[in-house]
């Protein structure tokens, strides 16, 4: 039977969802509208009498605030237009899943195979000026995404004639499971065509390697019952294993580097091995707290005798460009599975996020067709990570946004997760794991569908208008939360030996990687639980359907494991066994459909060879208007997208769950100034041992020199931890590169320059991390952040996110950025230089310049040690490190945070080089600086502890809420704090 349940607000009760739609229609789409209403609709296909359905309706509609109707109501007053938004077939519908749970509880039985629930939302609009074109825009520019949703627009007349069409997005395709042989005895052109047509992203050289291997192994394949040439299952598996996403081919390439400036010519055999791992290995000789770096899903460091910390940051750029909500949600719940799949499985402790977008104020006509407007993109990305993170019960600690027009083609969505691993589990180290031949291969969590097929190879391609729709997954945080709870319970009972996540490449990747541990596996796809019928074997193997983990379970533990899974309502399936055959064997109902030679699969890809050429760009300083008023300049700077407060969005992320928060992401008396870093207790809410987390990003510096960009970014992330009272002793770093395609090609003539930028950024990480003793423990790269839409190519600026994590012995020593009391003294610490190149100030004036901020790492390290000594001794009342916007912005933010006034004489700032201009003093973004306030009674001890590092007493916290800046006694500006605060909070003020 088919039933329609319709739920709407009871008369007299508000419909905030409709209010939000109204606001967005008016403000964002600028369309006239009188009123919107919404109603939720559940379409039930249920073998149950109408009385049962009435009971279901009673449970679904909240009797206090809602009205439930069985069938369809006639809205009063009548509407002018209706838009019905539902899901496309096969798209994850999380609400329907929960509704099905509720129905099962009410009926007291599970749903049958023909029974189903679908959800849709009906938006009713009133507005005399609304026409069909306006409704199209509301439907597709605001309410629905064509990729995953359907939207039906009905005028009142159409509705009167037909009513609302039934919402039944059932997956109905029928396809015979088939395994094809892909013949590779073809011309080079055809080889490339096979790769292109199949979205395999394999180069000719790689295709030829596969061709050659198969030529040489025909006999062996015959014995296994396989054709001479690869089956589609095999070719797809190889393609995803060799994809840029999984193999990091560019980071492992052999690079010929030419520096036209110095004449240097050198060969780099793998950036990763040379610079990233190279630096960490050097540091590791002195850092015994590194437990597991680079080889597992996330890096592991020792926290104390009982716990280790696990950290991973990922990007989810391409999916977020296509489906900002679902893509971003998958980004956060996806990266959660990295710590969960590290060692024997970590508890998930803290999330971080960071996004790069084009301006949300970009004029509509500048957005190429086929791309989302950056405002919508931003709103939806936030919403996806908010819902994903909040529903998973993981607080966020660090979040940031960066804006540049060049992110119009592709936004960057960084998500990361910190976890904790027990130091020992069942007597063994928590960070170690193994697989023995004979162990069972088990998949746990969600079912397999067409979601995310080709995600790994797809993200290694440019974005095109016709990018495949399967590349999108939607996260289901509740299914994942149930799975996480279950797995941690199973972990503590020692019910499995090995765990890893199913991310890019699905089972092909997870089981394929697990094979390397023990030497092989033999699985049967017929066992795999599917969302719907009709998947091809290769699709089952490669599906990136979310919320899944792969495990090795000892045979003697399998009954207990499956029993616990059933009791926690988590699906767990034995797919096969691990072996030591040297092959990853995949069957379908017993018949071998793939037998992948592990050595060829993992070592057979030819090393990429690339060319990098560095030529220093020539960039002019912008003209500074002679009449520019410092007060006006500072106020405008505070309102700039890359400086202003993102609090309106940030407040929608839970940052308190678990009760561990010590220094919150936003601080100050009004809670609207971003903290330099976050501090959290790790074990229990009342324990004093904690962790500090920070991030650095500054893409614009790379326009001048990616070396100094990367050096600055590392410095930022390091000094921000020092600014909250942390130190360098046990600090680890994570590198996340998002780059425009650095591979030279017909559509990419400046590849060698972008690759040179990549080389230089890597060299900076190598230099900085060693100088600071801050090893990289994990990292990720995303190398194809270009989009070609409507014939226009937009490439992102080279973007490095450096994330830091440091153990804090006692969180009670933490320091925040808000000045605490009038009368406290203001100190400026660290050199200010003539470094306005790439600054926000120059960007405001429309230029870049060449004087990029540099880092003197040995001096900076010494300075950080002295500042850390001050905070450890409790000598700082407040501390903040300037970044974008320099000293002027830093002092303004401190005034806003404290609510008191501040006066400071910038003429006293330690200056590198003579005669800094007023603008350099105010806005130069020189690295390695702090602004501190200190109680007068601590001044002497503070100055003594700082010792010989450059610092100056420059002013005081004052009662009058005014920022008073001067130079050598001459007033620069005097601005009420309320005015600063308004400028700082008004730009991104919508929720």
Partner 1 sequence: MSAETTRHGEREVRALVITGFGLNCERETARAFELAGARAEQVHLNDILAGLRRLDEFHILALIGGFSFGDHLGAGAVFANRLRARLRSQLEEFIGSGRLIIGICNGFQTLARLGLVPALDGRLFEPQVALALNERGVFRDAWVTVRAEKNCPCVFTRGVDVLSLPIRHGEGRFVARDRRTLERVEEEGLAALRYVDPQTGEPAQEFPHNPNGSWNAIAGVCDPTGRVFGMMPHPEAYLAPWNHPLWTRQRAEGALPAEGGGLAIFRNAVAFAREHLL
Does the protein bind partner 1 through residue 942 (CB under 8 A)?
no
Q: Which of these segments, 135-143, 684-692, 905-913, 971-979, binds partner 1 (CB under 8 A)?
A: 684-692
Does the protein bind partner 1 through residue 653 (CB under 8 A)?
yes
The helix, strand and coil proportions of the chain, stated in percent and rounded to the nearest 5, come to 35, 25, 40
Does the protein bind partner 1 through residue 102 (CB under 8 A)?
yes
Does the protein bind partner 1 through residue 959 (CB under 8 A)?
no
Instruction: Pull the structure tokens for residue 359.
Output: 């301006």
- Which of 137, 156, 568, 974: binder of partner 1 (CB under 8 A)? 568
Residue 383 or 516 having the CB closest to partner 1: 383
Residue 99 or 594 having the CB closest to partner 1: 99
Residues 814-843 that bind partner 1 (CB under 8 A): 814-816, 818, 820-821
- Residue 167 contacts residue 161 (beta carbons within 8 Å): no
Q: Which of these segments, 58-66, 124-132, 234-242, 776-784, binds partner 1 (CB under 8 A)?
A: 58-66
- Which of 106, 168, 869, 939: binder of partner 1 (CB under 8 A)? 106
DSSP, res 364: G
The CA distance from 470 to 19, in Å, is: 33
The CA distance from 331 to 388, in Å, is: 9
**Which of the following is catalytic: 214, 248, 316, 431?**
316
- Residue 30 contacts residue 378 (beta carbons within 8 Å): no
Q: Provide the mask over 922-941, with x wherever binding to partner 1 is found by CB under 8 A and - wherever it is not.
A: -------------x------
Least gap, CB of 731 to partner 1 (angstroms):
21
* Run of H or E including 931: strand 930-934
Residue 65 or 589 having the CB closest to partner 1: 65
Task: Provide the 3-class DSSP secondary structure of residue 778.
Answer: strand
- Which of 88, 208, 636, 651: binder of partner 1 (CB under 8 A)? 651
Across the chain, which distance is largest between two alpha carbons, in Å?
89
Least gap, CB of 822 to partner 1 (angstroms):
12
* Run of H or E including 351: strand 347-357
Least gap, CB of 72 to partner 1 (angstroms):
19
Least gap, CB of 24 to partner 1 (angstroms):
11
Least gap, CB of 720 to partner 1 (angstroms):
16
Does the protein bind partner 1 through residue 11 (CB under 8 A)?
no
Round to the nearest angstrom and report the end-to-end CA distance of the chain: 42
Task: Provide the 3-class DSSP secondary structure of residue 217.
Answer: coil
- Which of 391, 550, 579, 799: binder of partner 1 (CB under 8 A)? 391
Does the protein bind partner 1 through residue 17 (CB under 8 A)?
yes
Is 248 among the catalytic positions? no
* Run of H or E including 681: strand 678-681
Helix axes 706-723, 857-872, angle to 10 degrees: 10
Residue 42 or 802 having the CB closest to partner 1: 42
- Which of 11, 49, 77, 108: binder of partner 1 (CB under 8 A)? 108
Least gap, CB of 8 to partner 1 (angstroms):
13
Does the protein bind partner 1 through residue 38 (CB under 8 A)?
no
Residue 520 or 667 having the CB closest to partner 1: 667
CA distances from 917 to 336, 443, 914 (A): 47, 63, 9
Does the protein bind partner 1 through residue 390 (CB under 8 A)?
yes
Q: Provide the mask over 772-811, with x wherever binding to partner 1 is found by CB under 8 A and - wherever it is not.
A: ---------------------------------------x
The CA distance from 114 to 974, in Å, is: 72
- Residue 594 contacts residue 726 (beta carbons within 8 Å): no
Residue 208 or 651 having the CB closest to partner 1: 651
Instruction: Pull the structure tokens for residue 214.
Output: 């198969």
- Residue 551 contacts residue 513 (beta carbons within 8 Å): no
Instruction: Pull the structure tokens for residue 263.
Output: 């004449």
Residues 851-910 that bind partner 1 (CB under 8 A): 877-878
Find where tokens 């002018």 sit: 80
**Which of the following is catalytic: 214, 245, 248, 708?**
245
The CA distance from 834 to 837, in Å, is: 9
Does the protein bind partner 1 through residue 657 (CB under 8 A)?
yes
In sign, the C-alpha dihedral spanning 704, 706, 708, 712 is positive
- Which of 176, 603, 686, 915: binder of partner 1 (CB under 8 A)? 686
Can you list the positions of beta strands (E) in 545-660? 548-553, 572-578, 583-588, 591-597, 609-614
The CA distance from 755 to 76, in Å, is: 63
DSSP, res 439: P
- Which of 337, 664, 719, 964: binder of partner 1 (CB under 8 A)? 664
Residue 169 or 798 having the CB closest to partner 1: 169
Does the protein bind partner 1 through residue 492 (CB under 8 A)?
no
Residue 65 or 266 having the CB closest to partner 1: 65
Residue 208 or 820 having the CB closest to partner 1: 820
Residue 11 or 49 having the CB closest to partner 1: 11
Is 431 among the catalytic positions? no
The CA distance from 407 to 410, in Å, is: 5
Residue 445 or 477 having the CB closest to partner 1: 477
Least gap, CB of 401 to partner 1 (angstroms):
17
Three-state secondary structure along 826-859?
EEEECCECCCCCCCHHHHHCCCCCCCCCCCCHHH
Least gap, CB of 325 to partner 1 (angstroms):
14
Short-list 127, 132, 126, CA closest to 38: 126
Does the protein bind partner 1 through residue 667 (CB under 8 A)?
yes
Q: Which of these segments, 190-198, 384-392, 767-775, 918-926, binds partner 1 (CB under 8 A)?
A: 384-392
Least gap, CB of 714 to partner 1 (angstroms):
27
The CA distance from 485 to 667, in Å, is: 32
- Which of 11, 14, 162, 627: binder of partner 1 (CB under 8 A)? 14
The CA distance from 119 to 103, in Å, is: 14
Can you list the positions of beta strands (E) in 446-599? 498-501, 521-524, 548-553, 572-578, 583-588, 591-597
572 Ramachandran zone, left/alpha/beta (phi>0; psi -120 to 50): beta
Short-list 696, 824, 829, CA closest to 764: 696
Does the protein bind partner 1 through residue 105 (CB under 8 A)?
yes
Q: Provide the mask over 592-631, with x wherever binding to partner 1 is found by CB under 8 A and - wherever it is not.
A: ----------------------------------------
The CA distance from 767 to 497, in Å, is: 39
Rounded to 5 degrees, what angle do the CA atoms 548, 549, 552 make? 145
Least gap, CB of 128 to partner 1 (angstroms):
25
Residue 608 or 815 having the CB closest to partner 1: 815
Least gap, CB of 670 to partner 1 (angstroms):
9
Is the bond preceding residue 77 a cis peptide, omega within 30 degrees? yes
Does the protein bind partner 1 through residue 161 (CB under 8 A)?
no
Q: Which of these segments, 305-313, 663-671, 913-921, 922-930, binds partner 1 (CB under 8 A)?
A: 663-671
Task: Provide the 3-class DSSP secondary structure of residue 533.
Answer: coil
Does the protein bind partner 1 through residue 51 (CB under 8 A)?
no
Task: Provide the 3-class DSSP secondary structure of residue 392.
Answer: helix
Rounded to 5 degrees, what angle do the CA atoms 215, 217, 220 make? 145
Catalytic residues: 245, 316
Q: Provide the binding-site residues for partner 1, judged by CB under 8 A.
A: 13-14, 16-17, 19-20, 59-60, 62-66, 94-95, 97-99, 101-102, 105-106, 108, 386, 390-393, 477-478, 481-482, 485, 567-569, 651-662, 664, 667, 669, 671, 681, 684-686, 811-812, 814-816, 818, 820-821, 877-878, 935, 991
């Amino acid at each position: 039977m088919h039933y329609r349940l319709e739920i709407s607000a009871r008369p007299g009760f508000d419909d905030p969802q409709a209010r939000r739609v109204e606001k967005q229609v008016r403000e964002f789409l600028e369309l006239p509208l009188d009123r919107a209403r919404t109603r939720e609709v559940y379409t039930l296909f249920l073998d149950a009498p109408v009385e049962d359905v009435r009971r279901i309706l009673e449970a679904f509609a909240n009797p206090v605030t809602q009205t439930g109707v069985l069938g369809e109501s006639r809205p009063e007053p009548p509407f002018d237009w209706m838009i019905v938004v539902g899901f496309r077939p096969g798209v994850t519908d999380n609400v329907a899943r929960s509704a099905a749970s509720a129905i099962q509880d009410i009926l007291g039985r599970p749903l049958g195979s023909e029974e189903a629930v679908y959800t849709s939302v009906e938006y009713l609009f009133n507005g005399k000026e609304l026409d069909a074109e306006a409704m199209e825009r509301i439907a597709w520019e605001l309410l629905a995404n064509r990729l995953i949703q359907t939207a039906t627009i009905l005028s009142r007349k159409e509705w009167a004639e037909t009513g609302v069409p039934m919402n039944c997005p059932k997956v109905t395709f029928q396809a015979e499971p088939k395994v094809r042989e892909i013949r590779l005895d073809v011309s080079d052109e055809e080889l490339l065509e096979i790769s292109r047509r199949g979205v395999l992203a394999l180069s000719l050289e790689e295709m030829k390697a596969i061709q050659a291997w198969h030529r040489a192994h025909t006999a062996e394949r015959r014995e296994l019952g396989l054709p001479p040439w690869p089956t589609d299952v095999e070719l797809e598996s190889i393609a995803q294993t060799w994809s840029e996403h999984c193999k990091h081919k560019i980071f492992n390439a052999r690079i010929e580097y030419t520096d036209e400036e110095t004449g240097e010519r050198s060969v780099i055999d793998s950036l990763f091995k040379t610079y990233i791992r190279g630096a960490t290995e050097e540091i590791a000789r002195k850092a015994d707290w590194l437990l597991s770096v680079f080889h597992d899903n996330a890096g592991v460091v020792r926290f104390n005798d009982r716990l280790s910390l696990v950290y991973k940051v990922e990007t989810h750029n391409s999916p977020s460009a296509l489906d900002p909500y679902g893509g971003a949600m998958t980004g956060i719940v996806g990266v959660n599975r990295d710590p969960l799949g590290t060692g024997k499985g970590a508890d998930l402790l803290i999330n971080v996020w960071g996004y790069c977008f084009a301006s949300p104020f970009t004029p509509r006509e500048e957005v190429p067709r086929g791309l989302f407007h950056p405002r919508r993109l931003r709103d939806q990305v936030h919403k996806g990570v908010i819902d994903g993170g909040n529903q998973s019960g993981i607080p966020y600690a660090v979040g940031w946004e960066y804006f540049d027009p060049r992110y119009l083609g592709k936004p960057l969505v960084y998500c990361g997760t910190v976890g904790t691993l027990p130091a020992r589990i069942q007597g063994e180290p928590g960070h170690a794991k193994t697989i023995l031949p004979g162990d069972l291969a088990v998949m746990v969590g969600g079912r397999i569908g067409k979601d995310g097929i080709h995600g790994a190879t797809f993200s290694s391609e440019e974005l095109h208008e016709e990018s495949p729709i399967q590349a999108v997954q939607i996260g289901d945080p509740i299914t994942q939360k149930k799975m996480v709870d279950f797995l941690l319970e199973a972990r503590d009972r020692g019910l499995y030996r090995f765990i890893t996540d199913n991310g890019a490449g699905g089972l092909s990747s997870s089981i394929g990687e697990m094979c390397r541990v023990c030497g092989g596996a033999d699985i049967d796809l017929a066992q795999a639980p599917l969302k719907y019928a009709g998947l091809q074997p290769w699709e089952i193997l490669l599906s990136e359907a979310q919320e899944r983990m792969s495990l090795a379970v000892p045979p003697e533990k399998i009954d207990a494991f499956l029993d616990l899974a059933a009791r926690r309502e988590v699906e767990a399936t034995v797919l096969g066994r691990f072996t030591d055959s040297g092959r990853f064997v995949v069957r379908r109902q017993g018949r071998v459909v793939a037998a992948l030679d592990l050595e060829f699969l993992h070592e057979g890809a030819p090393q990429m060879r690339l060319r990098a050429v560095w030529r220093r760009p020539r960039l002019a300083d912008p003209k500074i208007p002679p009449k520019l008023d410092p007060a006006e300049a500072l106020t405008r700077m505070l309102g700039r997208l890359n400086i202003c407060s993102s609090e309106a969005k940030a407040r929608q992320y839970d940052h308190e769950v678990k009760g561990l928060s010590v220094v919150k992401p936003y601080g100050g008396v009004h809670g609207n100034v971003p903290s330099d870093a976050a501090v959290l207790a790790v074990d229990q809410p009342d324990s004093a041992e904690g962790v500090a987390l920070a991030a650095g990003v500054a893409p614009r510096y790379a326009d001048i020199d990616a070396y100094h960009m990367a050096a600055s970014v590392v410095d930022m992330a390091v000094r921000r931890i020092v600014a909250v009272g942390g130190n360098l002793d046990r600090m680890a770093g994570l590198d996340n590169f998002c780059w425009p395609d650095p591979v030279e090609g017909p559509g990419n003539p400046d590849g060698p320059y972008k690759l040179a930028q990549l080389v230089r950024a890597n060299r900076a990480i190598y230099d900085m991390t060693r100088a600071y003793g801050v090893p990289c423990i994990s990292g990720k790269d995303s190398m194809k952040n270009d989009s070609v839409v409507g014939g226009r190519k937009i490439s992102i600026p080279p973007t490095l996110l450096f994330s830091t994590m440091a153990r804090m012995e006692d969180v009670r020593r933490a320091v925040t950025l808000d000045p605490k009391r009038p009368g406290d003294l203001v100190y400026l610490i660290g050199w200010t230089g003539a470094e306005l190149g790439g600054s926000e100030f120059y960007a405001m004036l429309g230029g870049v310049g060449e004087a990029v901020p540099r880092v003197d790492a040995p001096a900076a390290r010494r300075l950080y040690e002295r500042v850390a000594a001050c905070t450890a001794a409790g000598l700082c009342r407040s501390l903040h490190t300037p970044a974008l916007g320099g000293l002027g912005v830093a002092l303004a933010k401190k005034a806003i945070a404290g609510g008191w006034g501040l006066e400071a004489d910038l003429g006293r700032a330690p200056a590198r080089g003579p005669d800094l201009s007023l603008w350099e003093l105010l806005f130069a973004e020189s690295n390695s600086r702090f602004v501190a306030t200190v109680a007068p009674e601590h001044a002497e001890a503070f100055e003594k502890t700082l010792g010989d590092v450059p610092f100056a007493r420059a002013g005081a916290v004052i009662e009058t809420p005014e920022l008073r800046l001067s130079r050598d006694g001459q007033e620069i500006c005097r601005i009420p704090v309320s005015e600063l605060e308004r400028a700082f909070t008004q730009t991104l003020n919508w929720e």
